[in-house]
Amino acid sequence: MTTKFQEYFTQIKDPRVERTRYHLLTDIITIAILAAIAGAEGWKDIEEYGLNKQEWLKTFLELPFGIPSPDTFRRVFERINPKEFEQCFRQWVQSLVEKLGVEVVAIDGKTHRGSYDRATQLKALHRAC
């Protein structure tokens, strides 16, 4: 992760009141995206990811007040413009496609390791994100 990644998301307008902005919007978005890629399924998971990776995240995020709470993640994502977020996200993914020279960057869907049931021959569980 570099500031280059964060630059893709600076176009998103911060919907929060100035006096209540303890965490940088780019920090919140960066943690949420990384956590989602790592398999986070909710706001609490995103916070836990941030807490577990805090030392690493500090190497490229400012984190002036540490890791945001689950409520902060939820409130911010409820209020940001989804079209702005989608546009920025698409631009970032397109930059990955160009840089890596691939046509597809798979960042959704997970097959759960060890979920295949040999006794009943049930297929492994697969979750679409």
Q: Provide the domain limits for residue 9.
A: 3-127
Name the one residue in this structure whose structure tokens are 């919907």. Answer: 15
3-class SS at 31? Answer: helix
pLDDT tens for 11-25 read 999 999 999 899 999
3-class SS at 56? Answer: helix
How many whole angstroms separate alpha carbon 62 and alpha carbon 80?
A: 20
Alpha helices (runs of H) in the chain, residue ranges in sequence order: 3-7, 25-37, 43-52, 54-57, 70-79, 82-100
Confidence of residue 56 (pLDDT cuts 50, 70, 90): very high
How many whole angstroms separate alpha carbon 129 and alpha carbon 80?
A: 20
Domain count of the fold of the chain:
1
pLDDT tens for 71-84 read 999 999 999 999 99
